[in-house]
Amino acid sequence: MAAPKPVYKRILLKLSGESLLGRLQYGIDFKTAAAIAQEIKDVYDLGVQIGIVIGGGNIFRGYRGTAEGVDRVSADQMGLLATIINGIALQDALERAGVITRHISAIEVKALAEPFIRRRILRHLEKGRIVIFSAGTGNPYFTTDTAAALRALEIKAQVILKATKVEGVYTADPLTDKAAKKFHSIRYMDVIKRGLKVMDTTAISLCKENDLPIIVFNLRKRGNIKRAVLGEDIGTKVY
C-alpha cells in the first residue's frame, strides 16, 4: 500500500508558548520541546514546507503587565522578547532532531535570529528549511495569532494549523463547561459573531479576506500535526 500523501505543500503552524510548558508551571520543558520537534520532523519528512509562529505565554504575557500598571507598549515588548526565547529553544530542539532550521525575529536581534526578509524566507522554505517566526509582528497591540495570519499570507501557506490543548472549536470552553459542543467546521463570520476564542478578530478577518483556512486541533495527542497535514478528519476547520 502506498504511503499517504500530504494535502498541503506549505503550512503555517501556530504554537502557543504554553505548548512548551509540559508539566511545568512556568518556563520551558525541554523534553516537551523535543517531543514537539519530533512531531514537526515527522511532517517535514513528508516533504511539507513548514513555517512556525511561536507565542510567549509560558514566560510572559503583555496583559499581565498592564494589569499591574505597566505601560501597554512596554508590556507587549516584554511579551515579544519572550517569544524570541521560545524561538531559540524550538530551533535547538528541531536541529537536535536533525532538521535544518532558521529563526526569524520581527525585532532586530542579529546575534540571535535573522531579520524578516520575505524573499530570503521563501528561499529557506524552498530549500527545505523549517522557518520559525518570533517577536510577533514586531509591534505592540498585535497578538501572535495576528502574526500567524500575516506570516501565513506572506509565505503563501495553504493553511494555518492552530495547535491548542483541546480538540477543536467549541460553543464554550470545554475545560470549564461540560455541556460545550465541538464544531466540525465553522465559518469565519460565525467565529466573530459568536465571540469564540479561536484567534483574535484581526487574525480571523485577515484569513477571511484572503480565504485562508484554519484547522484547530489538540497538540497533546501525538501525531495530530501529521494527521492534519494528511487531511484526516481531526479538530475543527474554520473556513
Give how far Cα 234 sits from Cα of 85, 131, 162, 237, Å: 30, 25, 12, 9
* Mean pLDDT value across residues 113-133: 98
Q: What pLDDT score was predicted for residue 1?
A: 65
Establish if 4 belongs to a structural domain.
no
Q: What is the pLDDT of residues 37-94, one digit of tens each?
A: 999 999 999 999 999 999 999 999 877 778 889 999 999 999 999 999 999 999 999 9
Q: What pLDDT score was predicted for residue 67?
A: 82
Q: What pLDDT score was predicted for residue 62?
A: 78
Q: Which pTM value belongs to this model?
A: 0.96
Establish if 147 belongs to a structural domain.
yes
Establish if 143 belongs to a structural domain.
yes
Q: What pLDDT score was predicted for residue 61?
A: 83
Q: What pLDDT score was predicted for residue 132?
A: 98
Distance separating alpha carbons of residues 51 and 172, to the nearest angstrom: 29
Q: Which domain holds residue 189?
A: 10-238
- Structural domain count, the chain: 1
Query: Quick one: cell of 56?
Result: 510567549
Establish if 210 belongs to a structural domain.
yes
Q: What is the CATH number of the domain that holds 151?
A: 3.40.1160.10
Establish if 222 belongs to a structural domain.
yes
In whole numbers, what is the pLDDT of the chain averaged over residues? 95
- In this predicted structure, the answer to whether residue 200 has a pLDDT above a threshold of 80 is yes
Establish if 92 belongs to a structural domain.
yes
Q: How far apart are the first and last CA of the chain?
A: 32
Cβ-proximal residues to 129 (8 Å cutoff; 6+ apart), any chain = 100, 101, 102
Q: Using the 8-state DSSP alphabet, how is residue 110 labeled?
A: T
Establish if 19 belongs to a structural domain.
yes
Establish if 5 belongs to a structural domain.
no
Distance separating alpha carbons of residues 72 and 62, to the nearest angstrom: 7
Q: What pLDDT score was predicted for residue 178?
A: 87
Q: What pLDDT score was predicted for residue 66?
A: 82
- State how beta strands 214-218 and 236-238 pair: antiparallel
- In this predicted structure, the answer to whether residue 106 has a pLDDT above a threshold of 90 is yes
* Mean pLDDT value across residues 195-224: 96
Q: What pLDDT score was predicted for residue 144?
A: 97
